[in-house]
Structure 1
């Protein structure tokens, strides 16, 4: 699912009926998760839709305002065809149900507190609220959200998407219309590869030879001192340690959290192999350019400056971070396969969804209104139109759309808000300087990570 322009901060989770929850995608670092994107234009692939449900009987809500909260202004005011169609849907919904649709722009970190405090006051601040799972876990456990199972019978939402909103395998607490199969990949600089006489990632992918080894081989050859001053001025890779760890674990078929069994799993063989590979990139091969103070902003800046050959990241980063900044030719490919992977994987470690706060009246009608505001029929077409505007060539667009179906969406357990990634990030942060090995570091934090998750899922109040 899409979005996250927010910056990361340390988790503090308050989960009782008198508390609220603030959480981050990964602890102590200023960045969103790699697998979650921040804007309403981020890429997702629509699955096959179920047959349309019978037209519901119109319910007159007497001119009531239906407020829909995002952490951006989602009002469709543009002159694009997508915005025009969105305005048409809004008009139809307003006339059918006798309501007024309005969009709230709620500051990201204030959303959880605003939702919980307004529910406690019996005055939910919005009927529909966009939330990342980092907020959903705590609000769900605290009883601040409306369970939606009973309202999703005969829904136009595909069954697998509905099931993906069962947090902890229990009731559905979120609404989402679709999910992608390739929201995260790797950007590469064509000029750098061409000048070095190397096959670029697209060529390697076409040969079915795009994997950790071929990426490492290219990264080593492209980490060079071009001006002869004894210092590397071009690197094979750039990234934040907490993003790279998540992507590499997923690309090897591993998971950070086993949601079904409620077990932290970044100590699994697949995950440990990925962490050892990441450690080697930093310390043995030294192919990752060091960040200079901002782990989140620096890597994208390096890539846009043309001094980095490869940058793993999300499609949502293109606008604002790459497009119109990088002057060289560039492309977009899948994440390379790890040794244990039989397919290309796109990780889903964190998600976002629309929730209905507890106490919202006519929740069944609100669900129908939300569904009728969605563009189920044209989403994939709109998706391609957006990609055509932001990606440089048809091959990159085909990759982003997963046209060949080679990318599988890997549900790695929604760990946002559970405190799990904070513990792992405290280890990978030390990888950068070689201060701790993966085996030692993981052994130190696997227990605290499990305890943090158990605490949130039990609804225990944070006593700090």
Structure 2
């Protein structure tokens, strides 16, 4: 009996040692494969305890004691829908509220009132919001007027890409804006597949696939597709439609030119690249006559013509699709990049917008506010979400790939934003004249280049804000 009990104890010990060895092998953190499990007879019986690995605990997030974090847009940004993106946004908000012990509140501030509300509340030492989405063009005056918090010290450990961070300097030394990413390709060329097919021409997608989509091939197609179909002596189909002030901006960019250089503070729509684009625009209207004249509304008419199926190509933005093309154009259509200009080595799109998130001067705990803003961004899924949204509005895989810039051929011209500086207004005043043949581009540009530079100086010196 005693012998049986001893055998049982020995077997129990062996089983226990074997179990310990198995657990040790399974929980090893080494990247090497676990060593074979030792046979029971060879189990070490040493009682020396194993060394414990030190695990560094993450530093707890700052506790803001239930503070309300106000985020201002010129729309209600509160996620209310039942879409997957809204559900994810609500989850991020809940996570942030628990992590920092705060309450997120979205403000809906009228577009044109945002800048004045920010500056006046800062002067009163009571910023109206912790984070403010500044409309296009207003950041220059607020930045140079000292109304914004420099953010350099708070973005040293960030998930925002370096080129995006650098773009938030707006030509200066300090970072004043927040942006999580830039969409790779927001504007390009819409085209009517039916019109190209009926004419027996290669369409822009085919030309792009052949690396032959440029100003010359666009012009060739536009000339062949500007026709009098019913024989009444009047053109009833045109190669192109657009507003002169949109076409000028897109053509200058497609030739590698800019209207303004943020680093030097110089107006540059008189550069060789820009002038070549403006002369080309002039020829499209006055020499080749391939752009359909608008009927009184430069903003609405071009998209209306394209939706009616009487225009072969329409340069525009992706934002236009839902309101201006879907459910209007009955023909098959596609979306490609703007064609390359003679001086461009790749496809380009303009980047004139200056909208950004900012933190008003005087906001407490600005370092924590930056982290809260970052935690609210969907860095991991924004590309997937963008693709999903594009699949709902674009007609085919090629168009979606172009809009996503899957091949990486489109480059944005950073460092050339001009919104709010008065530059475009000066240029538009003369393109309006030379598309009618009243003056030449060189004459028009010479008339306004100095005025445009003076407008920039006025904004950057803070003169406009001093008068408010």
**TM-score normalised according to structure 2 size:** 0.85
Equivalent position of 1:201 in the other structure: 204
2:443 aligned with 1:448, yes or no?
Answer: no
Once the two structures are superposed, residues 82-107 of structure 1 have per-residue CA deviations (whole angstroms, 9 ceiling, x without a partner) of 11111100000011112111222222
Distance 1:309 1:58 in 2: 56
Contact 2:434 2:444 (8 Å CA) reproduced: no
2:284 aligned with 1:272, yes or no?
Answer: no
Equivalent position of 2:25 in the other structure: none
Distance 1:186 1:106 in 2: 33
Mapping for residues 65-144 of structure 1, pairs under 5 Å: 65-144=68-147
* Structure-2 change in CA distance of 1:156 and 1:340 (3 Å): same
Q: What is the CA distance between 1:55 and its match in structure 2?
A: 5.9
* Structure-2 change in CA distance of 1:120 and 1:231 (3 Å): same
Distance 1:110 1:222 in 2: 46
Distance 1:75 1:233 in 2: 46
Contact 1:180 1:409 (8 Å CA) reproduced: no
Q: What is the CA distance between 1:228 and its match in structure 2?
A: 2.1
2:399 aligned with 1:401, yes or no?
Answer: no
Contact 2:354 2:418 (8 Å CA) reproduced: no
Q: What is the CA distance between 1:431 and its match in structure 2?
A: 2.2
2:253 aligned with 1:250, yes or no?
Answer: yes
Equivalent position of 1:436 in the other structure: 439
2:192 aligned with 1:218, yes or no?
Answer: no
Equivalent position of 1:235 in the other structure: 238
Equivalent position of 1:328 in the other structure: 331
Equivalent position of 2:308 in the other structure: 305
**TM-score normalised according to structure 1 size:** 0.86
Equivalent position of 1:423 in the other structure: 426
Once the two structures are superposed, residues 280-319 of structure 1 have per-residue CA deviations (whole angstroms, 9 ceiling, x without a partner) of 1111111111112221111111111211111111112212
Mapping for residues 271-290 of structure 1, pairs under 5 Å: 271-290=274-293
Distance 1:263 1:158 in 2: 27
Mapping for residues 39-54 of structure 1, pairs under 5 Å: none
Equivalent position of 1:314 in the other structure: 317
Corresponding pairs, count = 411
Specify every segment of 5 or more residues in structure 2 that has no aligned partner in the other structure, as ranges. 1-56
Mapping for residues 354-365 of structure 1, pairs under 5 Å: 354-365=357-368
Equivalent position of 1:182 in the other structure: 185
Contact 1:347 1:412 (8 Å CA) reproduced: no
Give SS of 2:364's match. Answer: coil
Once the two structures are superposed, residues 128-154 of structure 1 have per-residue CA deviations (whole angstroms, 9 ceiling, x without a partner) of 111244000011111111111111111
Once the two structures are superposed, residues 325-366 of structure 1 have per-residue CA deviations (whole angstroms, 9 ceiling, x without a partner) of 211111000110001111111221223211111122211111
Distance 2:354 2:460 in 1: 17
Distance 2:64 2:327 in 1: 46
Q: What is the CA distance between 1:238 and its match in structure 2?
A: 1.0
Mapping for residues 346-385 of structure 1, pairs under 5 Å: 346-385=349-388
Indicate which of 154, 163, 168 corresponds to 2:166: 163
Question: Highest Rg: 1 or 2?
Answer: 2
Q: Which has the higher helix share?
A: 2
* Structure-2 change in CA distance of 1:214 and 1:239 (3 Å): same
Moved over 6 A (4+): none
Contact 1:256 1:412 (8 Å CA) reproduced: no
Distance 2:308 2:356 in 1: 35
Q: What is the CA distance between 1:404 and its match in structure 2?
A: 1.0
Distance 1:423 1:157 in 2: 35
Give SS of 2:138's match. Answer: helix
Contact 1:181 1:346 (8 Å CA) reproduced: no
Indicate which of 258, 262, 281 corresponds to 1:259: 262
Q: What is the CA distance between 1:412 and its match in structure 2?
A: 5.2
Give SS of 1:147's match. Answer: coil
Q: What is the CA distance between 1:56 and its match in structure 2?
A: 5.8
Distance 1:332 1:422 in 2: 28
Once the two structures are superposed, residues 366-393 of structure 1 have per-residue CA deviations (whole angstroms, 9 ceiling, x without a partner) of 1110000000011111111111111000
